[in-house]
């Protein structure tokens, strides 16, 4: 149940409502007089966490709601469709149609909403026919984050009282405050931190804000593109990041809501569901939703590079949570789960098999390994039995350069979970030459086709096929060249494009070859992901085999360029 807030001076309440709405579309288009009229008709309502706000069969919706604080889950058939946050609006479509909403809106945490009656909201919505009513509508992914900051910045000192900081946040409409730690950088406290940590730890409001802050803080430079920052927030499972200049000056705070384009945010809802999964069965249920999330992302016209990065971030979260649910770690320190291959590169597609391994300072119990494998298998993210070795064993390539798992851990890895005691293994001098030779051989063995003949692809060995294996033809050869080039340059982490850039910086590839291969890789990935999405839409399991007859003449020309570019670099490497 909700309750209208009473006992607040009318002019103060109206001023706060007007100030809050004026900062958010579409209300920011209203003049002061119209905004005052709208504020006068707006009511305030409060919902406890878990309380329903709208129900699927609750009758016609007669109010537009705007979230002032808290969060709202949009649910249908007990399935999370979306996650709404501060400033988001909901119920408008049902309000305009006069029909029940067709979904349930439920408070994800204690939530305060502004409720605007249909008579006041309809004229405003009619005037913005083509605009989505959600924070961040537009295309911020390529803009610098400093241009996307929407909320005022609250700065406080470590010893400021929680009560005072919370008051300042409320007055300014901010959902976080930055704690200035002087030479030690910054801390951050969010409205959620204040609520949960005070309740959980039983702290008084008079306690210093330093007792509830988080530090160290993930910060971003002002010129960083919004899309990249959004991915970082998703991967880290956070919603705020201070924007800090090279000189250490605080510019503001960017929130996930500032960065959302007009597209589905189901991926953030899934990310939260992963972190909340209480059992392996719960986690497996969330994992089954990933193909739909990827389809929604592709439908919203994200580039393939962005789609695979989101999928990789979600699989990272699944992997980490599966490890947590598998049981206590064998030791507090010295056991590290390392992502390998396409997961390490953040390039997972719907047909990719996530791969990982364990770096341990001491042997791990077989029971723990079996439990981890079972948890990951249940979630569909198992690449086989868990392999654990010491750092020295990995570094010495005990099974030789032909050991693909060992090779990947040395040259294509990313730590996901655990606390290392020693640095992760690196290529030692004793095996360096063998590693480079093995990578070079793999790069030369991944031979692309030579072209097309009618509705058939021509392979390098003279054979023909009516289907093009897009991964083998246009993805794997470039990935292998990038692995070789970056290893020669001493780089073991990063995407394929980042590895190609590192290879150029290290002199293994020319700048022009690296740029050509990067463009070719993105083209091949676009075609690959589009093929997967088409198969998922038809209810078929995705694969990498594309009917040549369905590849347009223009795309064939582009693919020929890809084949020639790869072959040219391979010729240079071989000789």
For the cut 70, the answer to whether the pLDDT of residue 136 exceeds it is: no
Most confident listed range (204-208, 295-299, 524-528) = 524-528
Point out the domain boundary residue: 134, 161, 179: 134
- For residues 392 and 537, membership in a common domain is answered with no
* CATH, residue 73: 2.60.120.10
* 207 and 334 inside one domain: no
Range of the domain at 87: 3-134
On the question of pLDDT at 414 being above 90, the answer is yes
Task: Identify whether residues 178 and 315 lie together within a single domain.
Answer: no
Over 80: is that where the pLDDT of 530 sits? yes
How many C-beta neighbours within 10 Å does residue 318 have? 25
pLDDT reading at 6 higher than 80: no
**Domain with 456 in it: what CATH number?**
1.20.120
Q: What is the mean pLDDT of residues 376-399?
A: 85
> Which of 88, 83, 48 shows the shortest CA–CA distance to 68?
88
**Which residue among 400, 426, 452 closes a domain?**
426
| 223 and 321 co-located in one domain | no
Query: Are 372 and 492 members of one domain?
Result: no
The answer to whether residues 289 and 233 belong to one domain is no
- Asked if the model's pLDDT at residue 94 lies above 80, the reply is no
pLDDT given for residue 282 in this prediction: 93
pLDDT value at residue 267: 73
- pTM of the shown model: 0.68
Judge contact between 472 and 544, C-beta under 8 A. yes
Residues 413 and 276 occupy one common structural domain: yes
Q: Quick one: pLDDT at residue 81? A: 56
The total of other beta-carbon atoms located within 10 Å of residue 296's CB is 18
Return phi, psi of residue 357, to 5°.
-155, 170
For residue 188, what is the domain's CATH number?
3.10.580.10
Q: How many domains does the chain have?
A: 4
For the stretch 31-81, pLDDT in tens is 788 788 888 999 999 999 999 998 877 777 788 899 999 988 877 667 665
Q: Which residues pair with 3 in a beta bridge?
A: 46
Per-residue pLDDT, 201? 63
Q: Where does a domain end: 134, 155, 187? A: 134
Looking at the structure, do residues 231 and 276 belong to the same domain, yes or no?
no
Q: Residue 276 maps to which CATH number?
A: 3.30.460.10
pLDDT on residue 11: 59
Mean pLDDT comparison of 5-14, 42-51, 330-339, highest-scoring range: 42-51
Confidence check: pLDDT of 535 > 90: yes
208 and 291 housed in the same domain: no
Q: Cβ atoms within 10 A of the Cβ of 386, count?
A: 20
Q: Are residues 186 and 236 in the same domain?
A: yes
**Four-CA torsion 321, 327, 332, 335, nearest 10 degrees:** -70
Average pLDDT, the chain: 84
From CA 176, how far away is CA 19, in angstroms rounded? 18
Indicate the range of 42-51, 117-126, 201-210, 505-514 predicted with least confidence. Answer: 117-126
Mean pLDDT of 362-373: 91
Residues 86, 195 within the same domain: no
* 202 and 282 together in one domain: no
Q: Rounded to whole angstroms, how far apart are CA atoms 478 and 457?
A: 19
């Amino acid at each position: 149940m909700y309750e209208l807030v009473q006992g607040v001076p009318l002019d103060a309440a109206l001023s706060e409502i007007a100030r809050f709405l004026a900062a958010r579309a579409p209300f920011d288009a209203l003049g002061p007089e119209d905004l005052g009229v709208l504020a006068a008709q707006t009511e305030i309502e409060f919902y406890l966490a878990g309380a329903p706000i709208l129900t699927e069969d609750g009758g016609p919706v007669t109010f537009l709601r705007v979230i002032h604080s808290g969060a709202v889950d949009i649910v249908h058939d007990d399935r999370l469709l979306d996650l709404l946050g501060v400033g988001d609006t909901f119920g408008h479509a049902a309000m305009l149609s006069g029909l029940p909403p067709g979904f349930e809106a439920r408070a994800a945490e204690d939530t305060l909403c502004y409720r605007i009656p249909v008579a006041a909201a309809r004229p405003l919505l009619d005037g913005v026919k083509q605009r989505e009513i959600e924070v961040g509508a537009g295309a911020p992914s390529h803009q610098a984050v400093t241009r996307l900051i929407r909320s005022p910045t609250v700065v406080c000192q470590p010893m400021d009282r929680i009560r005072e900081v919370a008051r300042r946040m409320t007055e300014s409409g901010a959902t976080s405050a930055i704690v200035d730690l002087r030479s030690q950088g910054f801390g951050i406290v969010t409205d959620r931190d204040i609520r949960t940590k005070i309740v959980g730890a039983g702290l008084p409001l008079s306690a210093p804000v330093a007792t509830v802050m988080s530090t160290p803080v993930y910060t971003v430079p002002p010129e960083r593109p919004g899309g990249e920052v959004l991915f970082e927030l998703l991967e880290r499972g956070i919603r705020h990041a201070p924007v800090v200049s090279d000189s250490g000056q605080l510019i503001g705070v960017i929130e996930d809501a500032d960065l959302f384009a007009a597209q589905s945010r189901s991926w953030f809802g899934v990310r939260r569901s992963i972190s909340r999964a209480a059992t392996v069965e719960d986690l497996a249920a969330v994992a089954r939703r990933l193909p739909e999330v990827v389809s929604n992302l592709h439908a919203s016209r994200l580039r393939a590079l962005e789609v695979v990065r989101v999928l990789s971030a979600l699989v990272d979260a699944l992997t980490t949570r599966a490890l947590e649910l598998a049981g206590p770690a064998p030791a507090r320190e010295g056991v590290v789960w390392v992502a390998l291959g396409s997961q390490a590169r953040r390039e997972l597609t719907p047909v990719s098999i996530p791969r990982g391994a364990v770096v341990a300072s001491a042997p791990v119990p077989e029971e723990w390994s079996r439990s981890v494998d079972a948890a990951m298998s249940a979630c569909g993210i198992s690449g086989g039995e868990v392999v654990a070795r010491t750092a020295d064993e990995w570094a010495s390539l005990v099974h030789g350069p032909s050991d693909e798992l060992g090779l990947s851990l040395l040259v294509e890895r990313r730590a996901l979970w655990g606390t290392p005691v020693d640095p992760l293994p690196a290529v030692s001098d004793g095996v360096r030459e063998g590693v480079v030779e093995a990578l070079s051989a793999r790069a030369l063995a991944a031979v692309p086709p030579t072209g097309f003949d009618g509705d058939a692809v021509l392979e390098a060995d003279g054979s023909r096929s009516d289907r093009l294996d897009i991964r083998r033809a246009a993805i794997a050869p470039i990935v292998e060249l990038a692995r070789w080039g970056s290893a020669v340059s001493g780089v073991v982490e990063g995407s394929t494009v980042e590895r190609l850039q590192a290879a150029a910086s290290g002199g293994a590839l020319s700048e022009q070859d690296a740029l050509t291969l990067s463009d070719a890789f993105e083209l091949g990935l676009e075609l690959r992901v589009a093929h997967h999405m088409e198969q998922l839409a038809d209810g078929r399991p995705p694969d990498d085999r594309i009917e040549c007859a369905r590849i347009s003449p223009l795309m064939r020309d582009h693919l020929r360029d890809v084949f020639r570019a790869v072959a040219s670099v391979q010729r240079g490497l071989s000789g």
